[in-house]
Amino acid sequence: MLELDGGDAGGGYLRTALALSVLTGRAVHIESVRGGRPEPGLKPQHAAAVEAVATVCDATVTGTDVGSETVAFEPEGQPCGSTSVDIGTAGSVTLVFDTVVPLALCADAPIKLCATGGTDVAWSPPLTTFRRVKLPFLRRLGVPVAVDTSRRGFYPVGGGTATLTLAPADLDPLALAERGAPEGLRVHSVASAGLADAGVAERQAAVAVDRLEAAGRTVHKRTVSYVESDSPGSVCTLRADYDTGVAGLDALGEKGESAEEVGRKPVDALDSFEETGAAVDQHLSDQLLPFLAVVGGVVTVPAVTDHVASGVDLLSRFGCDVAVEEGNGQVQLRADGLVGN
């Protein structure tokens, strides 16, 4: 059993460790889970992620209670089948999905996961960004994956429900050294139904599109929608496609913040991203690490964030050494991968 220490990391370390455990068939014992956070141990969303992965691969697992700082996980079979989890709070549904998505690389049958909780909440990919940016990009790489949404869940109540489906995938090594030429911009603005009279979704989108067009950029698509939810909320996502790479920049509406402020933030983030030579945005940077571990290849990221640093260290513990080359405002991650090892 591989002994791991999450004392300097957060939930991403746990999620990546679980995925790599299944992908390599190697049992793990993780001490000091989320030890780098003010309140260490499993939060409801982390417990739900452990439960979901354990169910689809028939794992033997201990330490799954909320607050647990030690998790032992031993996968018993190849991932497959259907399951559901209820986070019970506004904990992130998309982070639960993030734990399961890499399992497509070793699944022997389709996987279906229904999760209830927060679909668009802070410190995690909003569902709009997950569906509109990450999943299309993964499908382009060769991962058959999709999400259907039954209800959106904003902070603080949550109560959103979405279903992830994915099928076995066989990927080539990642070829993301450069992002390539720009191919198009898309703006997606979503708000809860109670904000329709105030035109929140339209106002978010209008500001984002106006700022982009004023800078000489062409917006190829704009969507505006209102959704049913138990809590009021909104999100504005900007997707930037390139010949090879992709970036998803987003902002969540917050109390006391205007719709116009929300719409401006993704555009500002796009300007910062394009000052780098990265092929993917900083959030995809660490989310792609399990794929890099298995199939190898190269990916250029904006910076070595804490998530990337802890993820690279974790990959080395599983026998996948990642070369990190920094320079010219970008960082290149390169690995041989574990396929055939």
Catalytic residue numbers, as ranges: 307
User: What is the spatial distance between Cα 176 and Cα 300, in angstroms, rounded to a whole number?
Assistant: 6
A 10 A CB-CB count for 170 gives 10
For residue 102, what are its two tokens? 């890499």
Whether omega for the bond prior to residue 156 falls within 30 degrees of 0, making it cis, is: yes
- How long, in residues, is the chain? 341
CA distance 179 to 193: 37
**Separation of alpha carbons 278 and 273, rounded Å:** 8
Contact (Cβ atoms closer than 8 angstroms) between residue 274 and residue 216: no
What's the one-letter identity of residue 190? V
Q: How far is CA 182 from CA 178, 265, 277, in A?
A: 11, 20, 12
CA 178 to chain centre: 21
Q: For tokens 């990391």, what's the residue?
A: 9
